[in-house]
Amino acid sequence: MSTINDVALKAGVSVTTVSRVLNNRGYISEATRAKVYKTMEELNYQPNELARSLLRKQSNLIGLIIPSVAHPFFGELTNHIEYYAYQNGFKVLLCSSHMDPAKEKDYIAMLKRNRVDGIIMGSHTLEVEEYRNLNSPIVTFDRQIDNEIPFISSDNYQGGVLATELLISKGCRYIVHICGNLELKMLSNYRNDGFKDTAEKHGVRHITIQTDMNVFDQQQYEQIIQRMLETYPDVDGIFASSDIIAGFAVRECLGKGKRVPQDIRIVGYDDVNMASWFIPGITTIKQPTEAIGRLAVELIQQQLNGESFEPDNILPVELIERSTS
């Protein structure tokens, strides 16, 4: 790889001059500018960002830690984050924790070693303390660390309310919420609060079933749903905390000879693309994935610029009715 020196030499100018055209500062004649660009072209020169970052103390790198990009929700979220990062001159370093605390810790250290300008945390297997004192701009998704660190989440409580109201309005009298582990202090737990409050308000029987915190575990989902269907055969409404779980619920119900939505109604969460591809299409609570992605990048940028920012970002959800309700 050629260096700025090679360019200067070949173009017959000083490195300072090349640096000046590269960074658009000081006086440069059009002729010199053109000559330098031409030489860079000829030498196939690309300024070394490692050296630049080292000097500037800014890498334009954003670290993104998520459970897995193979999960449709995180895949779509990552897609939007990557898009807006690129728009704002950032590159994204992808880290999949696979819900392994050791790996997550490792990744955080790695990101610090690489001097990322900020970290977007979509995976939360560590204790809250571990995330403090990272002294790097952070944005958190679906988890509140403290008042200093901004978080983004969808309006989980409202999502729970909307889903539950729908089930009840359609006539469900015995509803279940299948969600992640409530021990983890995730903001998504509010979905369960919305669910319970609404069910109680309407005097509807309700139970909550927690899954382990595995990202994807087809077997576990199937088992939990089967057991639930056996233990509570009278359930006539399911609010699942992801469209994938909802999909499995549909599958198991149909397998058990229950008609959806006539015998049992099912509402998911997320509104991943897949939710509309399923047959029947899954009724769900839409998270504004694109807005979340955009905001995440913005919040990093704002912290970087020393601007003030909103620490609590709860984005609106929307009920999308399809065929499972």
Partner DNA sequence: TATTATATGTCAAGCCTTTGACATATTGAT
Partner DNA sequence: ATCAATATGTCAAAGGCTTGACATATAATA
The nearest distance, CB 36 to DNA, in angstroms, is 9
Show the site string, 10-39: x = touches DNA by CB under 7 A, - = not: --xxxxxxxxx-xx-xxxxxxxxx------
Show the site string, 46-85: x = touches DNA by CB under 7 A, - = not: -xx--xx-xxxx----------------------------
Amino acid symbol at 70: A
Asked if residue 274 lies in contact with residue 308, where contact means CB atoms within 8 angstroms, the answer is no
Applying CB under 8 A, among 14, 16, 23, 115 the residue interacting with a second copy is 115
The nearest distance, CB 193 to a second copy, in angstroms, is 29
Closest residue by Cα to residue 128 from 101, 110, 100, 96: 101
The nearest distance, CB 75 to a second copy, in angstroms, is 4
The DSSP line for 1-27 is ---HHHHHHHHTS-HHHHHHHHHT-S-
Please, is 286 exposed, middle or buried when counting C-beta atoms within 10 Å of its C-beta (0-12, 13-18, 19+)? Answer: buried
Q: CB-based contacts of 198: which residues, under 8 Å, 6+ apart?
A: 160, 161, 164, 165, 168
Which residues from 126-145 bind a second copy, rule CB under 8 A?
133, 135
Handedness of CA 308, 309, 310, 312 (dihedral sign): negative
Cα(17)–Cα(32) distance, rounded to whole angstroms? 9
Asked if residue 180 lies in contact with residue 171, where contact means CB atoms within 8 angstroms, the answer is no
Which residues from 33-62 bind a second copy, rule CB under 8 A?
44, 46-51, 53-54, 59
Show the site string, 174-193: x = touches a second copy by CB under 8 A, - = not: --------------------
Name residue 120's beta-bridge partners: 64, 139
Q: Quick check: 109 binds DNA (CB under 7 A)? A: no
Q: Which residues bind a second copy (CB under 8 A)?
A: 1, 44, 46-51, 53-54, 59, 64, 68-72, 75-76, 78-79, 82-83, 86, 91-96, 98, 103, 109-110, 112-115, 133, 135, 216, 218, 244, 247-248, 250-251, 254, 273-274, 276-279
The residues that touch DNA, with contacts defined as CB under 7 A, are 1, 3-5, 12-20, 22-23, 25-33, 47-48, 51-52, 54-57
